[in-house]
Amino acid sequence: MEIKACIDEKYREMELHVCSDSMSQDVKNVMAELHDTYDYTLVATDVRGDRHVLRPADVVYFAASAQKVTAGTFDETFTVQEKLYELEDKLPPNRFVRISKSEIVGIRMIKSMDLSVTGTIRITMKNGYETYVSRRNVARIKDMLLKQKGKKS
């Protein structure tokens, strides 16, 4: 695969082109990844009440507590209007995973995982946030990690 950047003043906004001799599964995967990364955004509110547009790629985790859903990034925590089940339907499944009734985490934002003797998994995110996978989701998380590992090989 060849990747090029073309910097020219004629472009007023960024354009991404995927060129191939056929519509292969690789082309479909790249297109889906680009749409997941650049098309979907969330409107979020910070602690001062200012509204921001968040890209899912910038979110480390989503957590529900006291009838509100927060989105944690590396720098701040925001409140979003969507419910967790709505986010779960909209977010790319290859980038986010539900780990408990009240949390969704970014797969690529996981720094480390620690499997305890009791069978629970403690997750440390790249921003330092720590949480636990509920027992009912441990098998799903393990399957997801195996699939991710298979894609990197």
Nearest-angstrom CA–CA distance, 133 and 131: 7
pLDDT of residue 135: 78
- The CATH code that applies to domain 25-152 is 2.40.50.1020
Q: Please report, rounded to a whole number, the percentage of residues in the chain having pLDDT higher than 70.
A: 90
The pTM of the whole model exceeds 0.75:
no
pLDDT of residue 153: 47
Residue-wise pLDDT for 68-98, tens only, equals 999 999 989 999 999 999 998 888 777 888 9
Nearest-angstrom CA–CA distance, 67 and 106: 21
Give yes or no for a contact between 56 and 43, defined as CB atoms under 8 angstroms apart: no
| Backbone phi and psi for residue 151, each to the nearest 5 degrees, phi listed first | -70, -30
| Signed CA dihedral, 113, 114, 117, 120: sign only | negative
pLDDT interval class at 108 (50, 70, 90) = confident
Per-domain boundaries in the chain: 25-152
